[in-house]
Amino acid sequence: VRVAVLGTGLIGGSIGLALRRLPDVEAVVAYDRDPSARAAAVRRGAADAEASSAATAVEGADLVFVATPVRAIPQVIEEASPGLRPGQILTDVGSTKSRLVVEVEKSLVEGVIFIGGHPMAGSEREGIEAAEATLFDGRWWILTPTPRVEPDAYRTLHGLLARLGARVIALDPEAHDDLLAVISHLPHLTATALMNLAAERRHAGLLALAAGGFRDVTRVAASNPDMWVDICVDNAEAIARALDELAGRLRELGEVVRGGRLSELRKRLSAAREARRSLGAKPLAGEPVELSLPVPDRPGVLAEVTTAVGDLGINIEDLQITHAEEGGRGTLRLIVLGVDPARRAKEALARKGFEVMLLRV
């Protein structure tokens, strides 16, 4: 496999470092708008060679990672276009997906396959100097395949990411953005609003008395405002919806408290406690189980199957498609860990009309 990495910051650099440890990766070529950053990538061992443009970097690559900030992605792909050829696989690492996936698919060179991606890994530090080969070890890496994505291309990318140590999960682009709004952006903006509310009070000097609870809830409010402005722009719609929803819940809770509706209050507190506790529980990494299902040979099946499993929070360890010789249909084989996750995946797929056979491997 030959790989191009466009953008050699923390994420791009770490991808390069991790890929170069795999024996079947022939070459990693790096491009960055900043010549010193791409030179540093080679010096740090994150790439075998640097290219002086995005278009030359992608020439002859089987796989292209676009690892720039989310706003720059369409522009970089456009710059790379003269070098792109049918059959090449393109992926990105942007933190929002719905708008981006639509925009990229619309403008892409015919035959080039784009699979949106989002590795949920990061660091306090930034730039190539902070890059590490182990950055993705045990971390989630979300892929957002659309109906246009070919199973074999998906398999190639999925397999490579799994070998970087990532837990790969497939989600629909909209589901990705809503998920991120809820588990990342909303907590951040809530911490911001709570911190400002407290700081603007008459007794602001008394915030020194705040104990662990307040400090935990507001901790994320100390992050970089510029980064968060960008995130809010990129995922504005899902974030605004989530903010409205939480505001509604807080107002309801205020009515419950004011009205002394104690059993309702206890119900909400208990539900949150249960949910928070189960969040802490690590799923047992069970034995590998194969889900085997006959699938029609039509576009969209791969995205449908993988996102149905992803919706359950279950990552697919490996997947394979065999095409029947007479054509028109094939068999999709997915490996997941644990009998219970396998059963839940089977049920979800059955609800979508797929006939699944479970097989311990």
Q: Using CB atoms within 10 A of its CB, is residue 205 exposed (0-12), middle (13-18) or buried (19+)? A: exposed
- For position 250 contacting a second copy by CB under 8 A, the verdict is yes
Q: Are 165 and 136 in contact (CB under 8 A)?
A: yes
What string of DSSP letters covers 208-236?
GG--HHHHHHHGGGGS-HHHHHHHHHHTH
Q: State the nearest-atom distance from the C-beta of 32 to a second copy, in Å.
A: 26
- Cβ-Cβ contacts under 8 Å for 255 (sequence gap 6 or more): 261
Q: CB nearer to a second copy: give 23 or 278.
A: 278
- In the complex with a second copy, the residue whose CB is nearer, 213 or 328, is 213
Q: How far is the CB of 230 from a second copy (least distance, A)?
A: 9
Q: Binders of a second copy among 275-314, rule CB under 8 A?
A: 275-277, 279-280, 283, 310-314
**Shortest distance, CB of residue 257 to a second copy, whole angstroms?**
5
Q: According to CB under 8 A, which residues from 127 to 186 bind a second copy?
A: 140, 142, 169, 171, 175, 178-179, 182-184, 186
CA distance 17 to 107: 30
Q: Which is nearer to a second copy, 277 or 360 (CB)?
A: 277
- Pick from 254, 286, 294, 299: which binds a second copy (CB under 8 A)? 254
Packing angle of the helix pair 225-234, 236-258 (nearest 10 deg): 100
329 near a second copy, rule: CB under 8 A: no
Place of tokens 């466009």: 6
Q: Where are the alpha helices (DSSP H) in the chain?
A: 10-19, 35-43, 54-58, 73-80, 98-107, 151-163, 173-180, 186-199, 212-218, 225-234, 236-258, 262-280, 301-310, 339-351
Q: How many residues bind a second copy (CB under 8 A)?
A: 96
Return the number of the residue (184 or 331) whose C-beta is nearest a second copy. Answer: 184
Among 257, 324, 339, 359, contact with a second copy (rule: CB under 8 A): 257
Nearer to a second copy (CB atom), residue 249 or residue 329: 249
Q: Which of residues 104-133 bind a second copy (CB under 8 A)?
A: 120
Q: What does the radius of gyration of the chain's CA atoms come to, in whole angstroms? A: 23
Q: Does 270 bind a second copy (CB under 8 A)?
A: yes
Closest CA to 100 of 76, 119, 116: 116
Of 30, 191, 319, 342, the residue at the interface with a second copy (CB under 8 A) is 191
Which of 1, 22, 27, 232: binder of a second copy (CB under 8 A)?
232
- Which residues 6+ apart lie within 8 Å of 223 measured at CB? 188
Binding status of residue 359 toward a second copy by CB under 8 A: no
> Minimum distance from CB of 280 to a second copy (Å)?
8
Residue 245 interacting with a second copy (CB under 8 A)? yes
Tell me: does residue 352 bind a second copy (CB under 8 A): no
Rounded to whole angstroms, how far apart are CA atoms 89 and 158? 11
